[in-house]
Amino acid sequence: GQQVMQIPQYQHVQEGEDFTTYCNSSTTLSNIQWYKQRPGGHPVFLIQLVKSGEVKKQKRLTFQFGEAKKNSSLHITATQTTDVGTYFCAGPTYDSASKIIFGSGTRLSIRP
């Protein structure tokens, strides 16, 4: 079946360093969503990308959707301790727009 994979699984950075997580789907996605989950919390929506090659920014966060709509990335510039958590990408499957599956997530930890 369709799979959504993320790398790396873990990332430990010094505060102030940059961070990037990559998301790859085995099939073309109509859109991709990014979520953040703080330790002990629930996933919270960050952004949705729809167009091929789309780039969106939220302060220090930059999101990209690949030209083929099969991959995406999230880049955080100058990480802060508030960025700690697990970042997930998610998207609808090819056979059902309502069936949303998640990537395995990238857990970000930060050394102050």
Partner 1 sequence: NAGVTQTPKFQVLKTGQSMTLQCAQDMNHNSMYWYRQDPGMGLRLIYYSASEGTTDKGEVPNGYNVSRLNKREFSLRLESAAPSQTSVYFCASSIYNSPLHFGNGTRLTVT
Q: Which residues bind partner 1 (CB under 8 A)?
A: 1, 6, 30-31, 33, 35, 41-45, 48, 88, 90, 92, 96-105, 107
Task: List, in sequence order, every residue forming a beta bridge with 76; answer none if it has no partner.
Answer: 19, 61
The answer to whether the beta carbons of residues 27 and 10 sit under 8 Å apart is no
Q: Which residue, 19 or 88, is less far from partner 1 as judged by CB?
A: 88
Q: Which residue, 6 or 72, is less far from partner 1 as judged by CB?
A: 6
Q: How far apart (Å, rounded) are the C-alpha atoms in residues 12 and 9? A: 10
Q: Nearest approach, Cβ of 78 to partner 1 (angstroms)?
A: 26
Break the chain down into helix, strand, coil percent, rounded to 5: 5, 60, 40
Q: How far apart (Å, rounded) are the C-alpha atoms in residues 111 and 103? A: 25
Q: Which residue, 84 or 101, is less far from partner 1 as judged by CB?
A: 101
Q: Nearest approach, Cβ of 75 to partner 1 (angstroms)?
A: 20
Q: Nearest approach, Cβ of 104 to partner 1 (angstroms)?
A: 4
Q: Which residue, 30 or 58, is less far from partner 1 as judged by CB?
A: 30
Q: Nearest approach, Cβ of 42 to partner 1 (angstroms)?
A: 4
The answer to whether the beta carbons of residues 12 and 19 sit under 8 Å apart is no
Which three-class secondary structure state does DSSP give residue 81?
helix
